Amino acid sequence: MLKTKDLLGIKELSREEINLILDTAAGFKDVLGRDIKKVPTLRGRTAVNLFFEPSTRTRTSFELAAKRLSTDVINFSVPTSSVVKGESLIDTALTVQALGADLIIIRHSSSGVPHLLSKNLRASIINAGDGTNEHPTQALLDAFTVKEKKGKIEGLTIAIVGDIAHSRVAKSNIYCLTKLGAKVRLIGPPTLIPQEIKMMRVAVFHSMEDGLKEVDVLIMLRIQTERQGKGFFPSIEEYSKNWGITSERLAHARPDVVVMHPGPMNRGIEITSEIADGPHSVILEQVTNGIAVRMAVMYLLAGVKRS
């Protein structure tokens, strides 16, 4: 059983709850392998994708997950503009709830928005990414993928490479994998790794060659080209030369290393096509697993009784 009606972040989940979600997702992955990829489980419920940041992949993944559970889905794409004074966030969310939403999947550029909605709405809130805080379903599908490929998570050495400071995917992964007993390390330039992150029981490396030694799983993060020009690194080319994953660098890791990426990839920048399409990559499976994990989350949240 999940303890609360919402999924706001991995921070708020216990190890038991994470394992429950992963076990449940395994059952749903079976459904995705059939001809009829649908079960009547949440028939009659309504899920709303409330996305204040553009995103086709995550939104579609949630949409498919809901539909596979026979849930009705509505997509609200709200153009973000802090200048345009329109309806307040709370008003928009309450309107969506009044339209009959049982489940609201929210993505927003401000950290803490899902928490704000959770306190003020009866509907279940799923965080699909809030500012630089968390992206919990991404971390859950990453953990599911690791478990599937390696049989376990505890004791594995897992490296996350890239813009840790601005990445909600990185934060959620750090919380999730450390809770499940993995040894997590971060690799990137010092300007992109905040000093306080060491308090989260992770090791920090600035060199790929050093950081990749003994690594079982490698998670590459997308480098946002907008970060160039703000002093975090001199150029994309330099970033790529130092922290991009190439076959040469990958040889420093364990021979059976698994390479993951939350997508979308910048081929040629943080990851070469050779690796993205190569035998170590499980990037496409992450996408499939994403649907199973999101189905599991919706199923489990639907079972939490509201007062």
Partner 1 sequence: MKIYIKNGHLIDPSQGLDSIGDIIIENGKIKEINTKRKERSTKSKGLSKSFVKTIDAKGCFIMPGFIDMHVHLREPGFEYKETIKTGTGAAVRGGFTTVCCMPNTYPVHDNASVTEFIIRRAAEEGSCTVLPIGAITKGQKGEELAEMGTMVKEGCIAFSDDGSPVMNSLIMRRALEYSKTFDVPIISHCEDVTLSDNGVVNEGLMSVALGLKGIPAESEQIMIFRDIALAALTGARLHIAHVSTEGSVQLIRDAKKRGVHVTAETCPHYFSLTEDAVKGYDTNAKVNPPLRTDRDRQAIKEGLRDGTIDVIATDHAPHHADEKLREFDMAPSGISGLETALGLSLRLVHEGVLTLRGLVEKMSLHPARILGLEEKGVLKAGSVADIVVVDKNREWKVDAQHFVSKGVNTPFHGWILKGMAVVTICKGKIYEQ
Partner 2 sequence: MPKELMNRHDINRALTRIAHEIIEKNKGTKDLCLVGIQRGGVHLAKRLAAEIKAIEKKDIAVGSLDIALYRDDLNIRKKQPVIRRTEVPFEVTDLKIVLVDDVLFTGRSIRAAMDALMDLGRPANIQLTVLIDRGHRELPIKADFVGKNIPTSLNETVEVQLKEEGGRDRVLLKKVKRGA
Question: What does 192 bind: partner 2, partner 1, none (CB cut-off 5 to 8 Å by kind)?
Answer: none
Q: Provide CB contacts within 8 A for 31, sequence distance 6+.
A: 37, 38, 39, 68, 292, 295
Q: Write down the least CB distance from residue 48 to partner 2, Å.
A: 20
Q: Write down the least CB distance from residue 68 to partner 1, Å.
A: 30
Q: Write down the least CB distance from residue 219 to partner 1, Å.
A: 18
Kindly give the pairing relationship between strand 217-220 and strand 258-260: parallel
In one-letter notation, the amino acid at residue 184 is: V
Question: What does 24 bind: partner 1, partner 2, none (CB cut-off 5 to 8 Å by kind)?
Answer: partner 2
Residue position matching structure tokens 């300007």:
191
CB-nearer residue toward partner 1: 91 or 209: 91
Handedness of CA 171, 175, 176, 177 (dihedral sign): positive
What span, in angstroms and rounded, lies between the C-alpha atoms of 37 and 58? 19
Conformational region of residue 191, where left means phi above 0, alpha means psi within -120 to 50, and beta covers everything else = alpha
Question: What does 197 bind: partner 1, partner 2, none (CB cut-off 5 to 8 Å by kind)?
Answer: partner 1
Question: What does 241 bind: partner 2, partner 1, none (CB cut-off 5 to 8 Å by kind)?
Answer: none
Q: Write down the least CB distance from residue 247 to partner 1, Å.
A: 33
Which of 133, 137, 157, 286: binder of partner 1 (CB under 8 A)? Answer: 133
Which of 20, 32, 74, 197: binder of partner 1 (CB under 8 A)? Answer: 197
The DSSP letter of residue 44 is T
Q: What six digits make up the tokens of 256?
A: 């059976």
Q: Write down the least CB distance from residue 24 to partner 2, Å.
A: 5
Question: What does 26 bind: partner 2, partner 1, none (CB cut-off 5 to 8 Å by kind)?
Answer: partner 2
CB-nearer residue toward partner 1: 193 or 253: 193
In one-letter notation, the amino acid at residue 64 is: L
Burial environment of residue 106 by CB neighbours within 10 A (0 to 12, 13 to 18, 19 or more): buried
- Binding region for partner 1 (CB under 8 A) out of 143-151, 192-200, 234-242, 290-298: 192-200
In one-letter notation, the amino acid at residue 78 is: V
Question: What does 134 bind: partner 2, partner 1, none (CB cut-off 5 to 8 Å by kind)?
Answer: partner 1
Under the binding rule (CB under 8 A), the answer on residue 41 touching partner 1 is no
- Binding region for partner 1 (CB under 8 A) out of 15-23, 109-117, 142-150, 248-256: 109-117
Q: Provide CB contacts within 8 A for 210, sequence distance 6+.
A: none
CB atoms within 10 A of CB 283: 19
Q: Which residues of 36-48 are buried (b: 16+ CB within 10 A; e: fewer)?
A: eeebebbeebbbb
For partner 2, the binding residues (CB under 8 A) are 1, 23-24, 26-28, 30-31, 34-36, 38-42, 296, 299-300, 302-305
Residues forming the site for partner 1 (CB under 8 A): 11, 82, 88-90, 108, 110-113, 115-116, 120, 130-134, 168, 171, 194, 196-197, 199
